[in-house]
Amino acid sequence: MYAGDYLGRRALYTPDQQAVVDAGKTPHRAFTYAELNNRANRLAHYLRHGAGIRRGDRVAILAHNGVEYLDTFFACGKLGAVMVGLNWRLHWRELVDLITRTQPTVLIYSDDFKAQVAHIRAATDVLEHLLHIEGEGVPGSRYYEMLLSASVLRPVTTDDVTEEDIACLIFTGGTTGLPKGAQISHRMIAWNTLNTIIHDLQHGDITVNTFPLFHTGGLLVYTTPLLILGGTVVLVRKFDPEQVLTLLQDYAATVYAGVPTTYQMMTTARNWASADLSNLRFCTSGGAPLPVPLVEQFQREKGVVFKQGFGMSEFGPGVFALAPEDSIRRAGSIGRPNFFVDARIVDDANQPVPPGQVGELVLRGPSRCSGYYDDPAASAAAVDAAGWFHTGDLAVMDEQQYYTIVDRKKDMFISGGENIYPGEIEQVIYKHPAVEMCAVIGVPDARWGEAGKAFVVLRAGATLTAEELHAHMQHYLAGYKVPRHIEFRASLPISAAGKILKRALAGAPENTAEQEL
């Protein structure tokens, strides 16, 4: 069995190497590869013999980050089963829809979500086995750790699992309707691991994972590749900037991945000044362009350099990388494609465009997902006849094959007949030293069809008027690109992955301090 049983192989090579530290527990719990493999075998034995799980069956988990999440992922791999990672920020009715679609017979859950699980069980008859991680759980639920202790410890494998079997479902953001479940195959995991090792990781690396494990950033950016390679992953229950800085120091982390908003939050944490980050070879940022002042602050105050990355649930997620030496001189670029990824920019007729021209970014290679679960129409629409996956991102490539994301197709708006890309405007706003966080969206406008609106959070103690910010943007942007509306807020809505929720901004005005210019 060469696919699926990742821990079986790694425990054979480095059984006594520290694999995972669960820093969400008090005290922290550490596991060697042999110990982690034993846990996965015990859970797999229960799932097979106690719950009847077979190859291709689904096992759902609704939980905070913790060793139990990795137990589930690796146990499913041993069985050829499919882990369904559920976003705990969703409403229980949305979770019912996802469970109805994916039909898992087992649900593993954190006690924090006991109320949602009670609603789900009352609304659907799909779930046959419930396992609670802590607390007492809902009636009829079994305690996870006790079940593991009572389960038989012997190797579990499924010999007919191949690289094309699905390891897990990662749900997309769901910009319209229900999220789509990207089918992550073992082939995709293997090729992404190879790309990640070529560009980022080395033996002995240690990382702190702060992305939720139901998200591609949490499970597949560094966690799974590093565990395949034999490194150490420190898990946090939820992102807390002060705790993360402490963990990076205490566990001598060598690599770390986040998004711009999380890095901004780290610089304002109480222990930022005292945190020792000297062991970090680099930090990786993705999800949005990283503001240059933030890159400069990390380098100036902590000696930390950045790599800009780009990936997505459906591809990679290691797709592009920008080397640390390019982080300032090519700020805003996502870099060049990773080794086994092919990329191009195409127009609306699906024809390649020359360097310097904006078009849609399309990708091809073996680290693409196997379509969307139970959604053949969406699967077919995402990939063209030549095998290119259409990302929905507008991008541009220069003569040296450096790529820059201009914006999402869905985020672009048209004002007075001109295409406006919010990402370009946000980069300019971030140049102002008083700005900690911002987002730009298009809003209806009687004269221009749509006009820009900027939502801005200021740094602690900073002052800035709408007129001053307007003048700052006019210094860098053509007049038609400058947002007509500016709203100052105390905070912006953030997703579980640390990204700003622009849909929430568009649909839930707060009007903390808004001015039309």
Cβ neighbour number for residue 366 with a 10 Å cutoff: 15
pLDDT at 511 over 60: no
DSSP states of 163-197: TTSEEEEEE---SSSSPPEEEEEHHHHHHHHHHHH
Cα(442)–Cα(426) distance, rounded to whole angstroms?
13
Signed CA dihedral, 225, 226, 228, 229: sign only:
positive
Cα(78)–Cα(55) distance, rounded to whole angstroms?
9
Radius of gyration of the chain (CA): 23
The pLDDT score that the predictor gives to residue 419 is 73
Q: How many percent of the chain have pLDDT more than 90?
A: 77
Cα(124)–Cα(487) distance, rounded to whole angstroms?
43
Q: Partners of 440 in the beta sheet? A: 454
Residue 40: band (very low, low, confident or very high) from pLDDT cuts 50, 70, 90: very high
SS (H, E, C) 206-231: EEEECCCCCCHHHHHHCHHHHHHHCC
Residue 283: band (very low, low, confident or very high) from pLDDT cuts 50, 70, 90: very high
Give the C-alpha distances (Å, rounded to integers) separating 225 from 13, 21, 220, 280, 434: 15, 16, 7, 18, 38
Give every CB contact of residue 62 below 8 A, 6+ residues apart in sequence.
86, 88, 95, 107, 108, 109, 110, 113, 116, 117
Signed CA dihedral, 419, 422, 428, 434: sign only:
positive
Query: What's the chain's average pLDDT?
Result: 92
Give every CB contact of residue 442 below 8 A, 6+ residues apart in sequence.
413, 414, 415, 420, 422, 450, 451, 452, 453
Cα(513)–Cα(301) distance, rounded to whole angstroms?
33
> What's the number of CA atoms in the CB half-sphere (13 Å) around residue 458?
15
pLDDT at 509 over 70: no
DSSP states of 430-465: HTSTTEEEEEEEEEEETTTEEEEEEEEEEPTT----
Signed CA dihedral, 128, 134, 138, 143: sign only:
positive
Do 197 and 204 touch, CB atoms closer than 8 A? Answer: no
pLDDT at 1 over 80: no
* Mean pLDDT to the nearest integer, 205-223: 96
DSSP states of 61-126: EE--SSHHHHHHHHHHHHHT-EEEE--TTS-HHHHHHHHHHH--SEEEE-GGGHHHHHHHHHH-S-
Residue corresponding to tokens 């499919």? 82
Give the C-alpha distances (Å, rounded to integers) separating 321 from 46, 95, 273, 428, 509: 41, 34, 29, 22, 36
pLDDT at 75 over 90: yes
Residue 360: band (very low, low, confident or very high) from pLDDT cuts 50, 70, 90: very high
Give every CB contact of residue 357 below 8 A, 6+ residues apart in sequence.
345, 347, 396
* Of the candidates 350, 356, 448, 353, the residue with the CA atom closest to the CA atom of residue 404: 356
Least confident of 66-80, 335-349, 410-424: 410-424
Domains of the chain from N-terminus onward: 6-282 (3.40.50.12780), 310-408 (2.30.38.10), 413-516 (3.30.300.30)
Is residue 13 exposed (0-12), middle (13-18) or buried (19+ Cβ within 10 Å)? exposed
pLDDT at 512 over 70: no
* Selected residue with higher pLDDT from 132 and 423: 132
* Of the candidates 240, 283, 265, the residue with the CA atom closest to the CA atom of residue 492: 265
Residue 498: band (very low, low, confident or very high) from pLDDT cuts 50, 70, 90: confident
The pLDDT score that the predictor gives to residue 175 is 39
Residue 506: band (very low, low, confident or very high) from pLDDT cuts 50, 70, 90: confident
The pLDDT score that the predictor gives to residue 2 is 66
Cα(367)–Cα(3) distance, rounded to whole angstroms?
15
* Mean pLDDT to the nearest integer, 246-251: 98
Residue corresponding to tokens 């080397």? 323
* Of the candidates 315, 277, 316, 313, the residue with the CA atom closest to the CA atom of residue 298: 277
Give every CB contact of residue 114 below 8 A, 6+ residues apart in sequence.
132, 135, 137, 138
Q: Partners of 479 in the beta sheet? A: none
* Mean pLDDT to the nearest integer, 303-331: 91
Cβ neighbour number for residue 412 with a 10 Å cutoff: 17
CA–chain centroid gap for 31, Å, is 24
Q: Partners of 420 in the beta sheet? A: 413
Q: What is the pLDDT of residues 174-192, one digit of tens each?
A: 434 568 999 999 999 999 9
